[in-house]
Each structure stands twice: as C-alpha cells, then as structure tokens.
A and B are shown apart, each in its own frame.
Chain A
Amino acid sequence: MSSDDSITSESEESTYTESQVIMTTVRVVAPFSLTYGLFLTFHGSGSPGGSFQGGAIMAATVLMIAFAFGIEPTREWLRNRTVVALAAGGTATFTLVGLIPVLYGRRFLEHRFYEDQFHIKTKWGLEAIEVGGVAPIVAGVITGLFFLIAAGLFDAEEVSEDE
C-alpha cells in the first residue's frame, strides 16, 4: 500500500515519502479520532459539539491517513463514489426531511408535523438533519476538496494509467 509506485513519478518524487514515525502515529491516533468524530455526530443533541464538528473530525482522520500512507492509495481505498454519495446523500436527506411536511400541506422543515402525523418526536427530526444531513455533507466536501487539490499533483495521463 505504502510502496505504491503509481503515486510517484520522476518529477514528483518528493510528493510522498514513507515515514515510520508518521505512519505509526497515525495508525494509533486514527481509530480514536474516528470514534470521537462518530461520537460527536451521534451525541450532538446532548453534549458539546455536533454533526459539523463530527463530520469535520471524521474527514480530518481520512486526510491524516492519506497524509501518512499516500494520497492515491487512500483515494482508491475510499472510492470517489463514496465521497460524492456522502455529500449528495446528505443534501438529499436534509431536503427530504424538510419537504415531507410540505407534501402534507405544512411548512418546510416543520418538525412538529412528524409528531402530529407519525408520533415521531421532534428530537429525531433534529437527529435526522444532523446525522443524515450536515455530517455527511461536511465530511464528503472536505474529503472531496482534498482529493481534488491533490489530484493536480499527478499528470492527467498518469492518473488514467494507474486505473
């Protein structure tokens, strides 16, 4: 994984250098920071933090792994489809939660509607927005932006070759 030749070319040999210290540190820290990100996302309604912070920390974990083990292998492991699905799915979930009350003639994002109609507590409406909407959007866009900027490091031809 770390010795993947496709990430280095003659002109960009300095882009990725294997470092035992960084790799070991990231291997130890990553499980904790990913768990913390998930914790913040799912406990945003009862403790400090929330889905934005949780999504950002989860994305930062992915960036950290990419920094330690090479960007290209991480991108192949994560799949670009996952990144787009996160960002687009989050926006779609948020929109859906907002639009369902409108279909029943209520107002956009009217949380109380869910309690009246389906006996779903308002708390769960907020959780749906936070966990299903904001966190995936933030995580997806940050990771996507990172891969997007990193993609410029490799030539277009080189990128298509290693598929």
Chain B
Amino acid sequence: MTPFEAALFVFVLATALTTAFLRDVLGVIVVFAAYSLGMALFYAFLLAPDVAMTEAAIGAGVTTLLLLLTLVKTVRETEGPRFERPNLPALLIMGGLLVALVLTIGDFPALGEAFDSKGWVWRNPAVTQYYIENAYEDTGVTNAVTAVLAGYRGFDTFGEAVVVFSAGIASLLVLKREVFTRE
C-alpha cells in the first residue's frame, strides 16, 4: 500500500464516520460528497474507471445537488450538540455486518491477480472466460464491458433502460409537478 493509498483510505474512513455522526444536515451532505469523491479515486486505483466515473458524476455530483435542493425546503437546526449520539442497536447491527463483510475479503483474489485462492477466474469461469476470448470476434468492439452490456446482455440493459425511464416518469407523476408539460 503506497502512502497515497493509505491517506485515501484514512480520508474515506474519516468522512464516512463523520457522515454517520455529524448532526448538522448541511455539513453531512458536504462531507458525504467528499466521501463519494474519495471512493471515486479508490475505484480508479482498483482499475475500475467506469465505476469511478459513475461515482464521481452521480455520487459526488448529482446526489449532492438533489440532497441540497431537498434541504432548502426544510428547516435547518443549528442548536444542540455537534455530533449525533450513536444508537446502540444500530451500532451492533452495523458492527455485525462489518465483521461479516471483512470475513469475505479473504476469498477475493489479490489486486491485479486473475485467479482467486481456489484457482478460478472470479466466480464464473465459463462465462467470464468466454467473454474475454470471444467479445472482439463476436461484436467488433474492443471494450469488453460494452460488448457485454450492449451485446451479450443487451436484453438486460434494455430492461434497465426502461426501468430508469419508467422511474423518471413515475416520480413525475407522484410529485405531480408540471415541469415537463409547460414551456
């Protein structure tokens, strides 16, 4: 682990804890945006640029703006203590979840290795290996992720696109605003 990675890890952990315990909602939103940006850098380090871009644009950008807009409509509480008192049952549940998640780390292959401890290419050798070997020949695109999303799994992507579209329309109907119909 390089010093930069270590610093990033501490930064993400600190912002995550601050998000959980800070009482002022505006402060929480700002710290949460910083957390998202830290995570985006982390994804870039883990060689997942697609996820990093999505996290930076949607996690740090769009979500923050939507939360800020929502916050404008509420009353901001300035009195009271700076930090939230931790809720014991919630703390226990999250601690248990943390332990369970940490226990699974050993099963993952090390960063940059194609094979995990059992000698498999991830969890789905037949499928993954097929995509890696045949994606270019079958679809003609060099980005295997695009080949899977738009080609092999095109029907799934179609479903997701329709879900995003319907969710947009549904929120429009639920919020009953005439944003779209007026010019």
Q: Which residues of A contact B (CB under 8 A)?
A: 12, 14-15, 40, 44-50, 52-53, 56-57, 59-60, 63-64, 67, 75, 79-81, 83-84, 87-88, 90-91, 94-95, 98, 108-109, 111, 121-123, 125-126, 129-130, 133-134, 137-138, 140-142, 144-153, 159-160, 163
Contacts and interface: CB of A to CB of B under 8 A. Distances in A.
18 contacts: A14-B72, A48-B50, A50-B143, A59-B62, A63-B61, A79-B183, A90-B161, A94-B161, A98-B158, A125-B150, A126-B151, A130-B146, A134-B150, A134-B161, A149-B66, A152-B73, A159-B178, A159-B182
A40 B66 CA distance: 24
A145 B164 CA distance: 11
Contacts of B177: 148, 151-152
Interface in B110-157: 138-143, 145-147, 149-151, 154-155, 157
A57 B150 contact: no
Nearest to A153: B72
| Interface footprint category on B | 35 or more
A80 B62 contact: no
Contacts of A150: 69
Contact of A129 (B62, B69, B154, B182): B154
B14 interface: no
A50 B146 CA distance: 7
A49 B69 CA distance: 28
A46 B165 CA distance: 26
Interface of B: 49-50, 53-54, 57-58, 61-62, 65-66, 69-70, 72-73, 138-143, 145-147, 149-151, 154-155, 157-158, 161-162, 164-165, 167-168, 171-172, 175, 177-183
Nearest to B54: A53
Given A44-B143, A126-B146, A56 B54 contact: yes
A98 B161 CA distance: 13
Contacts, number: 155
B138 to A, nearest CB: 7
B179 A80 contact: yes
Nearest to B47: A48
B62 to A, nearest CB: 6
Top 10 A-B residue pairs of the complex, sorted by shortest distance between their CB atoms: A45-B141, A123-B140, A141-B168, A48-B49, A126-B150, A53-B53, A56-B57, A60-B61, A109-B154, A91-B165
Chief secondary structure at chain B's binding surface: helix
A129 B168 contact: no
Nearest to B68: A67
Given A46-B143, A59-B57, 7 more contacts: A49-B53, A50-B146, A122-B138, A137-B165, A138-B164, A141-B165, A145-B66
A73 to B, nearest CB: 14
B129 to A, nearest CB: 21
Contacts of A163: 182-183
